[in-house]
């Protein structure tokens, strides 16, 4: 029978939840790296026992951990993230230039074909790659140096590169997203980049249609249609059907189109999920009700999914990396909250159960479907 492994990063350590394919009985191991912030953990598609974890602390900086046995044991690997060349400046919150300075790794994205090949999205925003299992890291400098870098500025959470989409066709195409710079695409394995933000509008910018400066919170896609992208922006849910060349809004009837995560059903490329948040100044769910919204039409028409979720006195947030799907049938959907709950649905969102209720604030959720 298949098995599911849920990798949970929190403000105070990592947890690993496992269940069989029925997904109704969960075992939780952890905390791993207790007391450290675990922004992200992710497994290699090429070897599911190879996991990477970003462990960081305001006191002691960045550590990257690697597991070769599915998270039972871990070893620290390389933690030296050095910007290529003279890094220059980006904009600070007040518009003044500020030198690039490494702070932490937000997202780790192992490649499709080689467990030793892994990308890291970091704050201050840049993309790094390791081809030796995380021992050493090299910046793909073409992104930061493509020309608009001096205009990038941090979002409230920092100037982070948080989304990395590697093309499943392994054709060298990469999408990344940065808060608050926008989405960028490379067609040559990360050597050169260009912004792909046409159609995004942000009232927080002096030019609402600016080429860069948009606070993209998350981009997701279905592996069978790598050029169809779904985006949760600061405000607005967007989609692109042409690999980011143009975007259109599909927020439709959502109660709020502010939010952080977005994900796509494993078997239905037009079924997508978001968690609306009240506003950019009130980072909790609308009406004190935790509801996932599902669209089966690729956006515009949304239905609330609330069975099993708290429907009163709820004031949690769901962060950008804290939602994932498994590839079982029916598709499982998972998300974690800043209140420390991790919810799972074994029926594509129709009903939810809490697989953990009292963890530290959840920063990230990833799922592995194992044979």
Partner 1 sequence: MVIRVVLPAHLKTLAQANGEVQLEAGERPTQRTVLDALEARYPVLRGTIRDHHTQRRRPFVRFFACAHDLSHELPDAPLPDAVATGAEPYLIVGAMAGG
Q: Could you give the CA distance from residue 323 to residue 70 in angstroms, rounded to a whole number?
A: 20
∠ CA 263-264-270 to the nearest 5 degrees? 135
Would you count residue 303 as binding partner 1 (CB under 8 A)? no
> Which residues does residue 182 pair with via DSSP β-bridges, in sequence order?
178
What's the closest the beta carbon of residue 85 comes to partner 1, in angstroms? Answer: 13
Would you count residue 52 as binding partner 1 (CB under 8 A)? no
Contacts of 119 by beta carbon, 8 Å cutoff, 6+ apart: 108, 109, 110, 111, 127, 128, 129, 130, 164, 166, 174
What's the closest the beta carbon of residue 103 comes to partner 1, in angstroms? Answer: 12
Judged by CB, which is closer to partner 1: 61, or 113? Answer: 61
Would you count residue 79 as binding partner 1 (CB under 8 A)? yes
Would you count residue 251 as binding partner 1 (CB under 8 A)? no
**How many other CB atoms sit within 10 Å of the CB of residue 31?**
18
Q: Diameter of the chain by CA atoms?
A: 57
What's the closest the beta carbon of residue 58 comes to partner 1, in angstroms? Answer: 6
Structural element, H or E, at residue 144: helix 141-144
Site size with partner 1, rule: CB under 8 A: 13
Would you count residue 301 as binding partner 1 (CB under 8 A)? no
Judged by CB, which is closer to partner 1: 80, or 209? Answer: 80
Q: Which of 248, 144, 244, 241 is nearest to 196 (CA)?
A: 244
According to CB under 8 A, which one of 20, 29, 69, 80 is a site residue for partner 1? 80
Give the contact letters, 21-50, x = binds to partner 1 (CB under 8 A), - = no.
--------------xx--------------
Q: Which of 70, 56, 47, 147 is nearest to 107 (CA)?
A: 56
Judged by CB, which is closer to partner 1: 12, or 214? Answer: 12
According to CB under 8 A, which one of 1, 25, 58, 371 is a site residue for partner 1? 58
According to CB under 8 A, which one of 59, 207, 313, 371 is a site residue for partner 1? 59
Of 51-59, 105-113, 212-220, 317-325, the window that binds partner 1 (rule: CB under 8 A) is 51-59
Give the contact letters, 138-177, x = binds to partner 1 (CB under 8 A), - = no.
----------------------------------------
Of 57-65, 131-139, 151-159, 263-271, the window that binds partner 1 (rule: CB under 8 A) is 57-65
What's the closest the beta carbon of residue 316 comes to partner 1, in angstroms? Answer: 21
Q: Is the peptide bond before 31 cis (omega within 30 degrees of 0)?
A: yes
According to CB under 8 A, which one of 57, 135, 151, 347 is a site residue for partner 1? 57
Alpha carbons within 13 A on the beta-carbon side of 152: 31
Q: What is the DSSP letter of 204?
A: T
Q: Could you give the CA distance from residue 260 to residue 117 in angstroms, rounded to a whole number?
A: 27
Q: What is the DSSP letter of 296?
A: S
Of 14-22, 78-86, 216-224, 286-294, the window that binds partner 1 (rule: CB under 8 A) is 78-86
Q: Could you give the CA distance from residue 261 to residue 321 in angstroms, rounded to a whole number?
A: 6
> Which residues does residue 51 pair with via DSSP β-bridges, in sequence order?
43, 67
**Taking a C-beta distance cutoff of 8 angstroms, is the pair 115, 50 a contact?**
yes
According to CB under 8 A, which one of 54, 62, 256, 368 is a site residue for partner 1? 62
Judged by CB, which is closer to partner 1: 325, or 363? Answer: 363
Residue 230 is encoded by which pair of tokens?
A: 């779904």
Of 52-60, 128-136, 243-251, 331-339, the window that binds partner 1 (rule: CB under 8 A) is 52-60
Judged by CB, which is closer to partner 1: 124, or 167? Answer: 124
Residue 96 is encoded by which pair of tokens?
A: 């003044």
Residue located via tokens 């989609």: 239
Contacts of 86 by beta carbon, 8 Å cutoff, 6+ apart: none
Judged by CB, which is closer to partner 1: 64, or 275? Answer: 64
Contacts to partner 1 by CB under 8 A: 35-36, 57-63, 76, 79-80, 82
């Amino acid at each position: 029978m298949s098995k599911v492994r849920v990798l949970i990063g929190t403000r105070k350590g990592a947890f690993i939840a496992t269940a069989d394919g029925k997904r109704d009985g969960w075992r939780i191991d952890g905390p791993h790296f207790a007391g450290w912030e675990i922004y992200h953990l992710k497994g290699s598609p090429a070897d599911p026992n190879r996991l990477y974890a970003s462990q960081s602390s305001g006191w002691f900086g960045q550590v990257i951990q690697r597991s070769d046995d599915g998270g039972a044991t871990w070893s620290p690997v390389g933690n030296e993230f050095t910007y290529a060349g003279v890094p220059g400046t980006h904009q600070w919150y007040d518009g003044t230039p500020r030198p690039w300075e490494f702070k932490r790794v937000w997202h780790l994205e192992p490649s499709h074909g080689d467990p030793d090949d892994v990308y890291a999205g970091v704050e201050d925003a840049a993309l790094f790659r390791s081809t030796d299992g995380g021992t050493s890291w090299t910046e793909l400098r073409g992104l930061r140096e493509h020309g608009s870098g001096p205009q990038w500025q941090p979002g409230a959470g920092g100037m982070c590169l948080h989304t990395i989409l590697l093309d499943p066709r392994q054709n060298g195409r990469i999408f990344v997203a940065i808060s608050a710079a926008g989405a960028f695409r490379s067609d040559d394995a990360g050597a050169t980049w260009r912004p792909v933000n046409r159609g995004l509008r942000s009232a927080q910018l002096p030019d609402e249609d600016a080429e860069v400066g948009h606070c993209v919170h998350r981009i997701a896609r279905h592996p069978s249609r790598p050029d169809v992208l779904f985006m949760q922006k600061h405000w607005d849910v967007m989609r692109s059907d042409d690999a980011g060349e143009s975007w259109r809004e599909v927020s439709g009837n959502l109660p709020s189109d502010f939010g952080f995560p977005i994900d796509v059903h494993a078997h239905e490329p037009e079924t997508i999920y978001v968690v609306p948040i009240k506003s950019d100044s009130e980072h909790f769910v609308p009406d004190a009700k935790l509801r996932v919204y599902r669209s089966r039409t690729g956006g515009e028409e949304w239905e609330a999914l609330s069975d099993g979720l708290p429907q009163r006195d709820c004031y949690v947030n769901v962060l950008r990396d804290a939602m994932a799907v498994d590839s079982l049938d029916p598709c499982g959907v998972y998300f974690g909250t800043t209140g420390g709950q991790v919810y799972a649905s074994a029926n594509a969102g129709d009903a939810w159960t809490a697989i953990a209720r009292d963890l530290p604030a959840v920063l990230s959720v990833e799922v592995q479907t194992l044979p």
